[in-house]
Amino acid sequence: MSSGPVVAMVWQGLDVVKTVRTMIGETNPAESRPGTIRGDFCVEVSKNVIHGSDSVESARQEISLWFRPEELTCWEDTAEHWIYA
């Protein structure tokens, strides 16, 4: 995180940890599928371009390193009741 700019984000949604981990790709970029962030943009493990929490519990801990509770807002999609009925 000290080699360049960092953009910290908190995402929410159904199965968000699993979904984000799929989008990110495997820790070893050589094992990541094309179309994933690591598969397309990462060259070696030690020069990782992205981090994603591996569980809700670790996400809570990692979020607290970057954000104060009052900085977080739960976003509600107005179509959510149509999608997740």
Residues identified as active-site = 51
The answer to whether 64 and 52 have CB atoms below 8 angstroms apart is no
**C-beta separation of 17 from 56 below 8 A:** yes
**Contact call for residues 21 and 33 (beta carbons, < 8 A):** no
Q: Whole-angstrom Cα distance, residue 20 to residue 85?
A: 23
Query: What is the rounded CA–CA span in Å between residue 6 and residue 49?
Result: 10
